[in-house]
Structure 1
Amino acid sequence: MTHREGNLEAPTRHPIDWQSPGYHDQAAAEKEMERIFDICHGCRRCVSLCHSFPTLFDLVDATSDGEVHEVAKADFWKVVDQCYLCDLCYMTKCPYVPPHPWNVDFPHTMLRAKAIKFKNGGVGAGERFLASTDKHGQFAGIPVVVQVANALNKTRPMRKALDKALGVHPDAWLPELATSRFRWSAKKTGSATAVRDGERTPGKVAIFATCYVNYNEPGIGHDLVKLLEHNEIPYTLVEKEKCCGMPKLELGDLESVARHKEANIPVLAKYAKDGFAILSAVPSCTLMFKQELPLMFPDDADTQLVKDAMFDPFEYLTARHRDGLLKTDFKNDLGKVSYHIPCHGRVQNIGRKTEEMLKLIGQKVTVQLNTVERCSGHAGTYGVKTPTHAIALKIGRPVFKAMAKDGPDVISSDCMLAGHHIAQGMQVNGLPAAKLMHPLSLVRLAYGL
């Protein structure tokens, strides 16, 4: 736990009062931003986390007296635009979060500002489309269309067109569409033999596929299924699902977040009530159900029920091991592995569960593990947008160098968007290349499945 200057209590989070009449009051929001910016300016502990803080401090340092009150309110929004809601400042750095009386919540203050900007029409059509993962994912799995779309996205004319239309940097890595969606190609249920619940883990799993796994890298989902089958854990795919809403949250489009919640929570709550652990293999999606939706809808019983049933896959697997119910018959060496802990994994308050699993594997076979715990700079769409792509590569440079340490055979991250960004950053910085694999894929390889 971060030392909090006389306050040794764990950080607490207030509900997001987004439906109150004053939430979208710009003058009130700017007043609160000024209060928090003044505290941040006096502390500066978070300067290395993202570009919001250097932007803020440069604005303050450029004033005649070096104080926040001289910064133009219009310039506050430059700070807002650099925040991608990673939550690291709140969960790992800031000594003034509640219950401290200064009550600093930088990310949710930025969220409020983003919501005001969105409501005032300050978010363009291109950004809104980039955040609509359900829409551009609909082309996945359609024969010929997928191949054509993937091929076009690699050409310079198309990349220039995407830059002009959507603000996507021509050099930024973009995910390919899958030739077959995970939800189409995976068995709907598996391992029908009942297994007993553990002290910490339900003995059956419902898989929330996520947009990325479903539309872009279904192999991650198939690897998760293989691990569950090998450990004889019954599973089922969630009957139906929409985007978790995180991309919309990052835009400040809270009404869309609410619509996604209304589509997902009633479905997921049925599994929670039936005693399933709900697994999501994308940290941002898991965090959405564990933190953001429960804070947006604190009085919704089903939302809170889903929160309690939601697991990161490695949180579930390592808890299963502590219950004495996980197989450890690992067969294959993994060699040198550089593993990156993504921000939205770090802030779930579950510890380093993926690292714990890789170390468990290392007790049976050879794993030379290098763990890197720092923001990669990708941060959803931030890393692909034209105005911020170069900044994202700059933020990630220390990670790229740390991941290349000792010449790894494999680089890995629970967030494959971060993983691909790291792979690109290593290439751009002339660092040795390594194969990129999701940690679930590494565990499957270790099992020999």
Structure 2
Amino acid sequence: MAVTPICEGSLEAPTRHPLAWQTAAFHDPHALAAELERVFEICHGCRRCVNLCQAFPTLFDLVDAAETLEVDGVAKADYGKVVDQCYLCDLCYMTKCPYVPPHEWNLDFPHLMLRAKAVKFRQGQTRLRDRVLSRTDAVGTLAGIPVVNAVVNATRTNALGRKVIANLLGIHPDATLPAYSSRPFRTRERGRIRHAAAGQAAGPTTGRVALFTTCYGNYNEPELNADLIAVFEHSALVVTLPASEQCCGMPRMELGDLAAVKAARDANIPILKGLVDAGWDIVAVVPSCVLMFKQVLPLMFPEDDEVHAVKARIFDPFEYLLLRHRQGLLATDFKQSLGTVVYQASCHQRVQNIGQKTREVLALVPNTTVEIIERCSGHDGTYAVKQEFHDAAMKIARPVAKRVEQAAPDHFGSDCPMAGAHIAHALGRDGQQKHPLSLLRMAYGIDTHPQGASPCR
């Protein structure tokens, strides 16, 4: 009888199967444990992903310390140590693993880790701290109240305050924490909501853009959204805001709270679908939010036509600008060069498979040299601020910081504002990072705070 050989690895493009999160088997702890053991055995035999996040070194250390030196010698109770280290960046799936579908071993490490987090959440084993930190809208709204805002922002830089929140919430005292604006972006730009406007279509773009402001862009760094609008309007693009929005759901997904992700979908998708139907494209400054609508929700709701309609019309900002440039509609009247720029391409942008669009746009600025770092920064939203993970996050960030240090650029940063802040922290240069959109605004010579306007903070 002929035996079909098992291929060592697949050279085909990876195929992502929908996430079967609404089935009983998905949340069955016994079925989960069996699948974790199967996948861990494959990873142990390969070890190609050892230089990515801490999930893989943690797994391999457990195996190497086992009496059998195999996965069967690792206690099932220790599997959670591996799961806790995974922050679902998807890089192992998209760039490293040779056994992803269509390979017969059908290995999807990030989706398995998400399944394990979902089981943990359903069993009530998720820490209160993690539940609180993942409620970004609620935290941002509370921190935006003027009196509370002053206290929160003072606590960020006060040694005694940091010690208190370290003890109360398990936040590492050395971690960098974002400031909160007392004037959220959607509050100060509520007059920007438009229901009808003319735009010049070009290629796959309509020239009319709805800006999903994101929790971070609304509450923490509203100036990033202001930079995006300034850059887009400089190229005659029309920008509106959704009539309402909630967190995209990424922080809750990373916690395993998939019911909350569905609730976010139910709040956001009808609004965004209405904008798409009215001829608007959608962009967001945070790559994780774009990824949520472009890849995560379509995999969670594969039969949902509204979700797929939004997926087809949401873009990374630099992806959108480059599409306009290819049609001759991107302004290139740059007033100043940027010199040397080193920026980290965030993981959640890279796994969108759109290519190096940020580098291509910044390289249009005369006398500007752009170096891209395609390596994880280690921040993962809240991962880097937690006491038990901060040291690992800094370890992951060091190679990126070293690259920046060696290049001695005029500007450095990341497509993800949180990653940029984490890299600056690793360099001991907090606050000196520049987002690529801010650099583009600088190159155009657009006044940061035009007459009559006021800073976001």
- Deviation for aligned residue 1:139: 3.2
The answer to whether structure 1 residue 199 and structure 2 residue 200 are counterparts is: no
2:200 & 2:66 partners in 1: Cα distance?
A: 64
Which residue of structure 1 lines up, in the alignment, with residue 372 of structure 2?
371
Which residue number corresponds to residue 408 of structure 2?
Answer: 407
Structure 1 gaps, min length 5: none
Q: Is 1:291 matched with 2:291?
A: no
Taking the aligned partners of 1:105 and 1:37, their CA distance within structure 2 comes to 11
Following TM superposition, by how much is the alpha carbon of 1:147 offset from its aligned partner in structure 2, in angstroms?
Answer: 2.2
Deviation, 1:9, is 2.3
Name 2:124's counterpart in structure 1. 121
Shift in alpha-carbon separation, 1:140–1:164, aligned structure 2, 3 A: closer
Q: Distance in 1 between matches of 2:196 and 2:27?
A: 50
User: In the alignment, which of 131, 143, 166 is matched to residue 163 of structure 1?
Assistant: 166
Could you tell me which amino acid in structure 2 is paired with residue 410 of structure 1?
H
- 1:442 aligns with 439
Shift of 1:5: 5.5
1:337 positional shift = 1.4
Query: How far is 1:218 from its partner?
Result: 0.6
Could you tell me how far apart the structure 2 residues matched to 1:140 and 1:271 are?
30
Indicate the residue corresponding to 2:451 in structure 1: none
Query: Paired residue for 1:312?
Result: 316
Counterpart contact for 2:9–2:99, Cα < 8 Å = no
Name the amino acid aligned to 2:392: I
Matched, 1:151 2:148: no
SS in 2 for 1:153: helix
Give the secondary-structure state (helix, strand or coil) at the position aligned to 1:97.
coil
Q: What is the match of residue 326 of structure 1?
A: 330
Q: Does the aligned pair in 1 maintain the 2:413–2:423 contact within 8 Å?
A: no
Residue in structure 2 matching 1:188, options 187, 192, 215: 192
- 8 A Cα contact 1:127 1:167, kept in partner: no
Q: Is the 8 A contact 1:140 1:216 kept in 2?
A: no
The TM-score with structure 1 as length reference comes to: 0.94
The CA distance in 2 between the partners of 1:221 and 1:18, in whole Å, is 33
What are the Cα deviations for residues 191-238 of structure 1, in whole angstroms up to 9, with x where unaligned?
A: 987332111212210000000000010100001111121111111111
**1:100 paired to 2:103:** yes
Q: Residue 26 of structure 1 aligns to which amino acid in structure 2?
A: P
Question: What do the CA deviations read for 1:127-157 (whole angstroms, capped 9, x no partner)?
Answer: 1001110011003543343223211232222
Give a deviation string over 1:153-182, Cα, whole Å, max 9, x none. Answer: 322222122122221111100000113111
Matched with 2:453 is: none
Distance between the aligned counterparts of 1:10 and 1:218, measured in 2?
A: 38
Check whether the contact 1:52–1:82 (CA below 8 A) recurs between aligned residues: yes
Label 1:434 to 1:116 Cα distance change in 2 as closer, same or farther (>3 A). closer
Partner of 2:82 in structure 1? 79
SS in 1 for 2:149: helix
Higher mean alpha-carbon deviation, 162-171 vs 17-26, is at: 162-171
Amino acid at match of 1:436: Q
- Structure-2 separation of matches of 1:240 and 1:33: 40
Q: Structure 1, residues 277-326: CA drift from partner, whole Å, max 9, x if none?
A: 10011011111111111111111110111111111101111111112211
The alignment partner of 1:57 has SS state of helix
Aligned length: 439
Q: Are 1:270 and 2:251 matched, yes or no?
A: no
Helix, strand or coil: the match of 1:206?
strand
How far, CA to CA, are the matches of 2:222 and 2:147 in structure 1? 18
Query: What is the match of residue 421 of structure 1?
Result: 422
2:364 aligned partner: 360
The answer for unaligned runs of 5 or more in structure 2 is 1-6, 447-457
Q: How far, CA to CA, are the matches of 2:413 and 2:316 in structure 1?
A: 16
Q: What's the CA shift for 1:372?
A: 0.9
Structure 2 partner of 1:237: 241
Question: Structure 1 residues 433, 257: closer, same or farther in 2, change over 3 A?
Answer: closer
Equivalent-residue separation in structure 1 for 2:295 and 2:122 (angstroms): 23
Aligned to 1:383: 384
Q: Which moved more, 1:137-146 or 1:201-210?
A: 137-146
Identity in percent: 55
Offset of 1:433 from its aligned partner? 7.8
SS of the residue corresponding to residue 435 of structure 1 reads coil
Distance 1:108 1:149, change over 3 A: same
Give me the whole-angstrom Cα distance separating, in 2, the residues matched to 1:141 and 1:73: 43
Separation in 2, partners of 1:192, 1:336: 40
SS at match of 2:79: helix
Paired residue for 1:41? 44
State the partner residue of 2:27: 24
Give the residue type in structure 1 aligned to 2:424. Answer: A
Distance 2:246 2:128 in 1: 21
Aligned to 1:15: 18
